[in-house]
Amino acid sequence: MSAASPPAISPPESIDFAPGFTFRHYAVCMRGIVWREALRFVHQRERFVSALVRPLVWLLIFAAGFRSVLGVSIIPPYQTYVLYEVYITPGLMAMIQLFNGMQSSLSMIYDREMGNMRTLLVSPLPRWFLLTSKLLAGTLVSVMQVYAYLAVAWFWDVQPDSNWGYVAILPALLLSGFMLGALGMFISSAIKQLENFAGVMNFVIFPMFFASSALYPLWKVREGSPWLADYCNINPFTHAVELIRFAFYLQVNWVSLAVVLGCAIVFLTGAIYAYDPAKGMLARKGG
Amino acid sequence: MNETIALDVAGVSHSYGSRKALDDVSFQVEQGQFCVLLGPNGAGKSTLLSLVTRLFAMRHGSISIFGHDVSRQSGEALRRMGVVFQARTLDLDLTVAQNLIYHAALHGIGRAQTRTLAASVLARVGMADRASDKARDLSGGQMRRVEIARALLHAPRLLLLDEPTVGLDMQARTDILAYVRRLVQDDQIGVLWTTHLLDEINNDDRVIVMHKGKVLDQGLARDTIIRHGARDIKDAFAKMTGSEPLGLGAAIENVL
């Protein structure tokens, strides 16, 4: 650009500044946020590959190794003995979403450090809507990852009793992905620097994943340690796993549904509160 | 409501814990005015911009944009304002056009309209031929130009630029400054340009001098110089603060 050259085209004048925002403004905004998240995901192939490889390593190696060690008796929703790979598949679906939620949280902290977060937050639309849209975008990405994993698992003979199971898990996955994403978002608001994220791995992901029904049924845990089983029972991740597990077999686990829904609302409210300039932690910390 | 006042900052104070970052700051930017917010690092410029953009909540005082209070009518206020942040905020994995589409969506502007608007603003910053390039492949100066184009996409009447020339080479700095000045002249946009670089100020610019969270002086640069019996704006700043401006002096040496 040369300082002497005149502007090529006159300024845009066609923006409507009628007061307030219409449904269309909201719809366009949400679609834009989802579209950007999807583009980023497509561009980051390593992220997609690692999201797929992680559960497959568990399925193909860990589950095969433990198949003979861990016998799974008939517990709902199963109506017969199942192989260990079949048992842990819903847990691995939830694991994909857990990692994805934490990955989104990581990218929010990164965005904040790099300044990208500001682009989102200076949108004139309400902040709760922006955060909820971002959460929805992350959830949709995690659902795509789960289906990619299920496609591979299908070749490994890990399949639901009915193909409708693939459809029935969709609402369960949306809800659990939303809850885990909201948790990640809430955590991201509390972490100021990227370096502190390693702590999240140790204090959130591992305790949530291992102290749950993802890898072993709770009655088995109770045999070893009753208090641990109690802890697993109150772990929201257990309920995300069970919600998906039951849905995969065309059943509804009402308790898990209530817990996941309740936690999703609590985490989202916490995240919106934390990102609210008037109340949250951003202003206090100056960043 | 005075429609010619683009930005009205009235009695704004802000603290981080016990440290006072802003102390009763008041000034106005009128439509069609190029206004420089001058101060060394730590003067409170970034805090002020965070308050104007609603990143932080206002505790004391008020800020309004074309009569819309940032705290109470934040949507109406924010949609009338474009911002170029000091940090690079383009998404490097996306193309220039995709970055603009995303920004437009955040303002509720759909794809079809965005295409027309994007072509227009990119042409204005001389970047029309780079629309399908990845942001990652642009130079620092080109990224800034795209960021300015992006900030103008929703046709705001107030443009905030937070130290927009930091990290750019001399040519890019001159170009960007000239472009924004022309924007003020041609389109009558109100501009608030924060800087610690004295050589970006013209005698006809309105200058707000900030130091340690306080506004020390405001008015046309030439008047400020006369008022303080100074040789130039650097001298005036030194007289106002009672010392050689450390941040400013160091910054100038870095640039020259």
**pLDDT tens profile A52-81:** 888 888 888 887 777 766 666 677 778 777
Q: Whose CA is closest to B100, among B114, B83, B84?
A: B114
Q: Do B12 and B117 fall into the same domain?
A: no
Answer whether B24's CB lies under 8 Å from B213's CB: no
Does any domain span residue B85?
no
Q: Do B248 and B177 fall into the same domain?
A: yes
Q: What percent of chain A has pLDDT over 90?
A: 37
Q: Do B138 and B237 fall into the same domain?
A: no
Would you mind telling me the total number of residues written for chain B in this entry? 256
Q: Do B125 and B139 fall into the same domain?
A: yes
Last residue of a domain, one of B155, B181, B211: B155
For residue A67, what is the DSSP state? T
**pLDDT tens profile A19-44:** 788 899 999 999 999 999 888 888 87
- B180 neighbourhood in chain A, CB within 8 Å: none
Q: Do B161 and B211 fall into the same domain?
A: yes
Expressed in percent and rounded to 5, the helix, strand and coil fractions of chain A are 75, 0, 25
Does residue B251 carry a pLDDT above 60? no
Q: What is the mean pLDDT of residues B104-126?
A: 91
Tokens standing for A213? 């029904």
d(CA B75, CA A124): 4
Confidence of residue B255 (pLDDT cuts 50, 70, 90): very low
Q: Do B42 and B30 fall into the same domain?
A: yes
Answer whether A151's CB lies under 8 Å from A56's CB: no
**pLDDT tens profile A1-14:** 444 444 444 444 45
**pLDDT tens profile B127-141:** 889 999 999 999 988
Number of domains in chain B: 2
Q: Do B46 and B76 fall into the same domain?
A: yes
pLDDT number for residue A198 = 72
pLDDT number for residue A71 = 62
d(CA B86, CA B167): 10
Residue of A nearest to B98 (CA): A36
Please report which residue ranges of B20-110 form alpha helices under DSSP H. Answer: 45-52, 74-78, 96-106
**pLDDT tens profile B48-72:** 998 998 888 888 999 999 999 998 8
Last residue of a domain, one of B155, B175, B203: B155
Q: Whose CA is closest to A248, among A153, A155, A182, A181?
A: A153
Q: What percent of chain A has pLDDT over 70?
A: 85
Confidence of residue B249 (pLDDT cuts 50, 70, 90): very low
Flag if B109 and A36 touch (Cβ within 8 Å).
no
Burial A130-161 (b: 16+ CB within 10 A, else e): bbbbbbbbbbbbbbbbbebbbeebeeeebbbe
Q: Do B27 and B132 fall into the same domain?
A: no
- A20 neighbourhood in chain B, CB within 8 Å: 75
d(CA A239, CA A219): 15
Which residue of A22, A28, A116 is in closest CB contact with B91? A116
**pLDDT tens profile B145-172:** 999 999 999 999 999 999 998 888 888 8
Burial of B13 (0-12, 13-18, 19+ CB in 10 A): middle
Give the mutation candidate from B46, B74, B79 for the A interface (greatest A CB count, under 10 A). Answer: B79
d(CA A1, CA A5): 7
Flag if B89 and A8 touch (Cβ within 8 Å).
no
Q: What percent of chain B has pLDDT over 90?
A: 53
Flag if B91 and A14 touch (Cβ within 8 Å).
no
Flag if A12 and B182 touch (Cβ within 8 Å).
no
pLDDT number for residue A195 = 66
Q: Do B118 and B107 fall into the same domain?
A: yes
Q: How many CB pairs under 8 A join A and B?
A: 157
Does any domain span residue B126?
yes
Flag if B126 and A35 touch (Cβ within 8 Å).
no
Instruction: Give the structural domain span for B131.
Output: 90-155
Cβ within 8 Å of A, B 49-68 = 53-57
Q: Do B105 and B177 fall into the same domain?
A: no
Q: Do B62 and B186 fall into the same domain?
A: yes
Mean pLDDT of chain A: 83
Longest dimension (CA), chain B: 56
Tokens standing for B170? 């001399």
Other C-beta atoms lying within 10 Å of the C-beta of residue A264: 24
pLDDT number for residue A4 = 43
d(CA B224, CA B226): 5
Q: Do B188 and B248 fall into the same domain?
A: yes
d(CA B111, CA B103): 11
Does residue B242 carry a pLDDT above 90? no
Last residue of a domain, one of B99, B132, B155: B155
Flag if B108 and A14 touch (Cβ within 8 Å).
no
Does residue B194 carry a pLDDT above 60? yes
Confidence of residue A124 (pLDDT cuts 50, 70, 90): very high
Other C-beta atoms lying within 10 Å of the C-beta of residue A46: 7
User: Residue B18 is part of a domain; what is its CATH number?
Assistant: 3.40.50.300
pLDDT number for residue A64 = 77
**Residue scoring higher pLDDT (B95 or A281):** B95
Flag if A125 and B89 touch (Cβ within 8 Å).
no
